[in-house]
Amino acid sequence: MEHGIIAGTGRRVSARGKVFTLALALVATAAFAGPAAAVSKSTKPVCGNNVAEGAEACDGSDLRNQTCNSLGFAGGSLSCAANCTYQTGTCLSLLRYQDNHDGTVTDLSSGLQWEQKNGADGVQDFSNPHDVDNEYTWGNLAGCPIVGCPNGTAFTDFLGRLNYNISADSTTTIWPCFAGHCDWRLPTIQELVTIMDYNSSTCHNGPCIDPIFGPSEHIYGSSSTDTLDPFATYAWIIYSWTGKTNPLPKAAKAYGLRAVRSAD
């Protein structure tokens, strides 16, 4: 039988003993190496388990507390793609509003072109339809052929000056129309809601409308009639400092107005 010597002891050991000792050493190595390998395997990111891990931007419903706004977009709904990267296709444009430098603003998310307001001095100037202090009637005035008809100054004066560009003394029609377009109208109540930013730091203490639109009146009238009988004589308004909507009698001279059209 072959014998060997255990280094540093001078003791002899048989070949069988050497095999046994080597086996023990391998078992001990596996015992220490095994858990480390298991930990490494368990912490490897797995895309598709709804837990954003490692270099994953997101995973399923786990967006790492990110939103379209936090990623620099104007708003919208953020989601996670199948490859665990952010899906921003439903986020609003990084530049939502475009100042056209002609007295109008285009909302790139809705495709609507809005009138900018000016003249915030507390004095009404009806020769300037863009004066934010101006207030108009909607309709249901004397001579109305049907209940609630649109015969107020919102249509006969405000829109008349935009679409026919009437001179300040109301004697001459100037072409082209406002900003080169003759299809200005009152927005629906739903369209007015789209330009309300309820997360704005000024909302509730000031206008909930982006400053790019110019100064804002407290009340903006819409083209939407209250359809609940017997309220055909009421139109829907929005309070721009709160974003709340309410019906207002059409004959009331209290309608602040902001015209809109579909952008080309």
Q: Which pLDDT score is estimated for 203?
A: 81
> What is the domain partition of the chain in residue ranges?
3-42, 95-264
Asked if 126 and 119 count as a contact pair (C-beta separation under 8 A), the reply is: no
Q: Which pLDDT score is estimated for 168?
A: 61
Count of beta carbons in the 10 Å neighbourhood of residue 22: 10
Q: What is the 3-state secondary structure (H, E, C) of the chain?
A: CCEEECCCCCCEEEHHHHHHHHHHHHHHHHHHHHHHHHHHHHCCCCCCCCCCCCCCCCECCECCCCCCCCCCCCCECCEECCCCCEECCCECCCCCEEECCCCEEEECCCCEEEECCECCCCCCCCCCCCECCCCECCCCCCCCCCCCCCCCHHHHHHHHHHHCCECCCCCCECCCCHHHCCCCECCCHHHHHHCCCCCCCCECCECCCCHHHCCCCCEEEEEEECCCCCCCCEEEEEECCCCCEEEEECCCCCEECCCEEECC
Q: What are φ and ψ of residue 153, in 5° steps?
A: -70, -15
List the chain pLDDT tens, one digit each, 264 residues.
445 444 444 455 454 444 444 444 444 444 444 444 444 445 678 999 999 998 899 999 999 999 988 887 777 899 999 999 999 888 876 788 999 999 999 999 899 999 999 999 999 999 999 999 999 999 999 999 999 999 999 999 999 999 986 666 666 666 679 999 999 999 999 999 999 988 777 787 888 999 999 999 999 999 999 988 677 999 999 999 988 999 999 999 999 999 999 998
What distance in Å separates the CA atoms of residue 210 and residue 29, rounded to the nearest whole number? Answer: 67
Asked if 203 and 215 count as a contact pair (C-beta separation under 8 A), the reply is: no
